[in-house]
Amino acid sequence: MTTAYKLGGRVWIEGPEGTFLGYGRVTLLERIRQHGSISAAARSMQMSYLRAWKLVDSMNRQGRQPLVEKSTGGRGGGGARLTETGERSIELFWSAYRDFQQFLQQRSGPLQG
Amino acid sequence: MTTAYKLGGRVWIEGPEGTFLGYGRVTLLERIRQHGSISAAARSMQMSYLRAWKLVDSMNRQGRQPLVEKSTGGRGGGGARLTETGERSIELFWSAYRDFQQFLQQRSGPLQG
């Protein structure tokens, strides 16, 4: 029997406090862009608001500038939007992610049975 | 403030049932080689015997040949040794692991602040 093996894996971007950007965090950023609020973004991912808030806080602390801007108060207060740093961070992660997928694919070649 | 970011990650080799070889599994194989038994290897890693046995079983099922040979019975029965496939599997994983570390280091370059 020949068995096909392949390389699998995960990558993330590390900052001063550990994980800065990973798959889940970047998906959360994209949902915030889509929904215009942290709570709606969290709900759309079946994530608790507390967890989403903590992730945003961690990213904001570790970014060169905050990634998410919260607009407290106002009608339906609690809206949030991505900053330019937020947009750039999303691109930064997906670019590294794509390179990693390519690495995995290439490095899986020698594992074929 | 400039912040140094870097890419972090994990890789594993996937087989027909999911994970075939990862960092912990390969460390377990090396401990089995060192200690000559699954239970002693497990103990040396603060891993339960049941978990170690399940991991060995999973690797043996997914390898082209078994990776670990159990010698049941005999004095102090329950000894185990690596087969040639086991030795080759260890090398296979560390080789991919080293290439991945190099990828991470190179890909971290563009993330420096």
Tens-place pLDDT, residues A71-112: 876 555 579 999 999 999 999 999 999 999 999 999 999 898
Whether residue A61 contacts residue A17, with contact meaning beta carbons closer than 8 Å, is answered with yes
Structural domains of chain A, count: 1
User: In the structure encoding, which two tokens stand for residue A68, read together?
Assistant: 């998410």
What is the CATH classification number for the domain harbouring A35?
1.10.10.10
Domain region containing A42: 13-106
Q: Which 16-45 residues of chain A touch chain B by CB within 8 A?
A: 16, 19-20
Is residue B6 included in any domain, yes or no? no
Is residue A22 included in any domain, yes or no? yes
Is residue B59 included in any domain, yes or no? yes
Q: What is the ipTM of this complex?
A: 0.89
Is residue B113 included in any domain, yes or no? no
Q: Minimal CA–CA distance to B60: which of B39, B34, B35, B81?
A: B81
Q: Look at the alpha carbons of A72, A78, A79, A83 in this order and tell me if their dihedral is positive or negative.
A: positive
Is residue A8 included in any domain, yes or no? no
User: In the structure encoding, which two tokens stand for residue A107, read together?
Assistant: 């490095």
Give the pLDDT confidence of B31-90 residue by residue, as tens digits: 999 999 999 999 999 999 999 999 999 999 999 999 999 887 655 557 999 999 999 999
pTM of the model: 0.88
Interchain CB contacts (distance < 8 Å): A and B:
77
Is residue B37 included in any domain, yes or no? yes
Interchain pair A11, B8: CB under 8 A: yes
Q: Which 70-99 residues of chain A touch chain B by CB within 8 A?
A: 92, 96, 99
Is residue A6 included in any domain, yes or no? no
